[in-house]
Amino acid sequence: MSKVAIVTGGGSGLGQATAVRLAEEGVNIAVVDVSEKGGNETVEKVKNAGADAIFIKADVSKAEEVKQYVDKTVEKYGQIDYFFNNAGISGSGEYFLNTKIEEIEQIVGINLLGALYGVRYVADVMLKNGGGAIVNTASSAGVIGQDSVVTYSATKHGIIGLTKSMVAEYAKDGLRLNAIAPGPTETPMVKAFYEANPEMKENAESGIPQKRLGTPEEVAELVTFLLTSKAEYINGEVIRIDGGFTNTK
């Protein structure tokens, strides 16, 4: 029987690249995103790669919509084996004291509450079926402090706490959780952020020892490895994929 994965933020960037990469391994995908256009595009890419897929529109900051995407996945496929808990936004790039309260609430709602809700409902299904694997998307800003992204950084530090603490509670029951910490990567979200803050792109590239941004496909390879049985004894780790960016901090 084919494995089944949920990928949030699956309509573009890291989510889309990972959905396609998992499909190449024969994994069926529930693509979750707020964008119907992006989500349906990913579904087509997954099917072209040889697996089945469905699109589920959801705002992950709303617990009832998270529960709905989990229920719809189980209704369609009967199981959830893998979860790429990836949906997130970056913010405006304003310094924290200039950041609007509405923006803080939005970033926390999507990045942190959305991740918590996802693990809450997905892990419940996984444990009833004997276990599963989850990869949470943190960030280089989740392992070091960075200016202009205070709220984002706070949520990504929270993702790491979520990952490690869930392992402490549920590894004995067959659950594996790891976090990835990508550095600046060529995703639509990052490109939009750098277009609004061009000086930050120059600073990022100059600060990366490999002198380039990462690609979604490189991150997808890591996520696929961590989710599959090849990584059965890796649990509670935060794996940096940033060209050495945080190694120099």
Q: Quick check: 205 and 212 in contact, CB under 8 A?
A: yes
Task: Determine phi and psi for 135, rounding to 5 degrees.
Answer: -120, 120
CB atoms within 10 A of CB 102: 8
Q: At 185, is the secondary structure helix, strand, or coil?
A: strand
Phi-psi region of 122 (alpha: psi -120 to 50; beta: other; left: phi over 0): alpha
Query: 184 CB contacts (<8 Å, ≥6 apart)?
Result: 140, 190, 201, 204, 205, 208, 213, 214, 242, 245
Using alpha carbons only, give the angle 163, 168, 173 rounded to the nearest 5 degrees. Answer: 100
Catalytic option among 69, 77, 82, 152: 152
**What is the rounded distance in angstroms from the CA atom of residue 29 to the CA atom of residue 51?**
8
Residue 152 annotated in active site: yes
Question: Hey, which residues are catalytic here?
Answer: 152
